[in-house]
Amino acid sequence: MSTSLVSYDTLVATVAGIFSAHLPEGDAQHVARCLVDADTRGVASHGIGRIPVYTKRLRLGLVNPRPSLRVTGGDAATAHVDGDNGMGYVVAQKAMDEAIARASQFGIGMVLASHSNHFGMSASYVQQALDAGLGSFVFTNAPPLMPVWGGSTPFLGTSPFAFGAPGETPLLLDMATSVVAFGKIRRAARLGESIPADWALDAQGRATTDPHAAIDGVVLPMGGPKGSGLGLMMDLLAGVMSGAAFGGQVRNQNADFSAPQDVGHTFIAFKPDLFLSAEAYRERAAALVQRAKACTLANGFDDISMPGEREEAMARRARLEGLAVSEQDMEMLREEEQLASGSAAERSGSHSAA
């Protein structure tokens, strides 16, 4: 497959250009950065390949390009953000900002968001907290793709459990509660590859290696009741408690174009050095990593890496050397740029002249 090497800045500018036909410039830049960052981390399922569905929903009026994000305080260390059906990326960034502000004052802060949409890679918001020197938990709910334990029909999202803690080598855990992220199944379908037999059931509840059959069926939770329990936990925290849709009622952005998604999110930020000096925390966090890496290797491993470490190394390389973009994605970007200039013309009232 032929690819083009594109610099990080160029790719972000291209994607931001596409979104700026719809969104305020700052929001377009933020969305573009999150999408390209996912590609730099090797998380292609949350990368620029998602652009067409986002712009489609914007064009259809299913996502509010200029939301009024309403922040209301709960008890002191908590707040609520009504996302006003804005892009999830924009709602989540604002909500994590609020969580960071509360953690800075109270040691820990929790912010829930409702009326939001798909926010991309959770790692983006964990990184936002890391950049502020804070640890965090980031949860979201998502459309039903995975059965609750004991069920055979989609009920839970394959929502990621995400956590971060600062350090010389930060911990940045961002893991699907499914055996695999559903995006990996979609990607296998796009690339015509088969999938392992324990990833998913087909529509009849049978194990399958065909990603197309799996897309019509369900992906399985990791560890059976364990992944299912984490999924229920996140739906309660992000959906039930926030006022967003929950319990299988978040709409699928790829399949349901009848109404907004109404996704809910949860952001908990905390200071890592509450009871230690900043210096002592740094030393102890570094010692945890050093001791882990000093363990005897298991068969088949060359090194021991921390959660997110490999992804950050990939991202650093991609930011320096550029990203390999497939011909298919280059074509998609060209099409999206054309659609964007059409939308921009339409928005400026000159669509009859275009």
Query: In the window 35-64, what residues touch its own copies (CB under 8 A)?
Result: none
> Which candidate, 116, 100, 102, 50, places its Cα nearest to that of 73?
102
Amino acid identity of 92? A
Give the amino acid at 250: V
Asked if 118 is an active-site residue, the reply is yes
Q: What residues from 172 to 191 belong to the interface with its own copies (CB under 8 A)?
A: 173, 175, 179
Q: Of the two residues 75 and 353, which places its CB atom closer to its own copies in the complex?
A: 75
Query: In the complex with its own copies, which residue's Cβ is closer, 299 or 352?
Result: 299
- The strand order across the sheet containing 160-165 reads 70-73, 78-82, 108-116, 263-270, 135-140, 160-165, 171-176
197 binds its own copies (CB under 8 A): no
Rounded distance between C-alpha atoms, residue 183 and residue 145, angstroms: 11
For the stretch 275-290, what's the b/e string if a residue is b when 16 or more beta carbons lie within 10 angstroms of its beta carbon? eeeeeebbeebeeebe
Measure CA of the first residue to CA of the last residue in the chain; give whole Å.
35
Answer for which of 77, 123, 250, 315 binds its own copies (CB under 8 A) is 77
Name residues contacting its own copies, limited to 233-292 (CB under 8 A).
233, 235-237, 239-243, 246-248, 268, 270-276, 281, 284-285, 287-288, 291-292
Residue 66 CB, nearest approach to its own copies (Å): 24
From the candidates 30, 115, 118, 265, give the one annotated as an active-site residue: 118
Distance between alpha carbon 252 and the CA centroid of its chain, in Å? 15
Among 7, 78, 328, 341, binds its own copies (CB under 8 A): 78
For residues 96-155, which are near its own copies according to CB under 8 A? Answer: 105-110, 112, 135, 147-153, 155
Check binding of 70 to its own copies (CB under 8 A). no
Using rule CB under 8 A, residue 92 touches its own copies: no
In contact, 84 and 280? CB cutoff 8 Å: no
Provide the annotated active-site residues. Answer: 118
